[in-house]
Structure 1
Amino acid sequence: METRHFTLDDLRRILLEGAGADDAVDLDGEILDLGFDELGYESLALLETSSRIEREYGVSLDDEELTDGATPRRLIDAVNDRLSAPADSV
């Protein structure tokens, strides 16, 4: 069985599809360790992002992973942790 991976490019696509992008932010730049608030994404945009990830990848994220200093790197790691977890532990 092939293991799927969630990448920065996947996150960029989902962010743009769900909430667009602030003209002042270059999502193609070095964004892995910037807070989502620094990227112009508020809580509603992150909830939409979480919903899209759940529909597309079949993983649910905790609210804490989308708040309090959440960064693209932390979100990508959380999604990939769930994707690689055995089915009975998810």
Structure 2
Amino acid sequence: MASKSFTLDDLKRILLGAAGVAEGVDLDADILETTFAELQYESLALLEAGSLIEREYEISLDDEAVDDTITPAALIAAVNRQLASVDAVAA
């Protein structure tokens, strides 16, 4: 089975599905190191995004993985670490 990876495009799609996008926010800009607060995503929207990620990628993210990530880059890294650990267990 080919291992999955989680990308910025995946995150953008999930954020749009979870909470849409605030007026004046450009998700197509260089947002990797922009805080979720600057992107106007509050904790409830991030929890919903985390839930969508868990369902789609069949992983379990602990609350800290979502709560403690303040940028898209950090969340993408946390998801990919979890995906890698699932792949390692499956191997």
TM-score under structure 1 length normalisation: 0.89
Change in 2 beyond 3 A, CA 1:35/1:52:
same
| Structure 1: distance between partners of 2:31 and 2:58 | 25
Aligned to 2:61: 61
The CA deviation at 1:67 is 2.9
Unmatched segments (≥5 aa) in structure 2 = none
Secondary structure of 1:18's partner?
A: helix
User: SS of the residue aligned with 2:77?
Assistant: helix
Instruction: Give how far 1:75 is off.
Output: 0.4
Aligned to 2:31: 31
Structure 1, unpaired ranges of 5+: none
Normalised TM-score (structure 2):
0.88
Secondary structure at the aligned position of 1:59 is classed as coil
Asked if structure 1 preserves the Cα contact closer than 8 Å seen for 2:69 and 2:75, the reply is no
Work out the number of aligned pairs and report it: 88
RMSD: 1.4
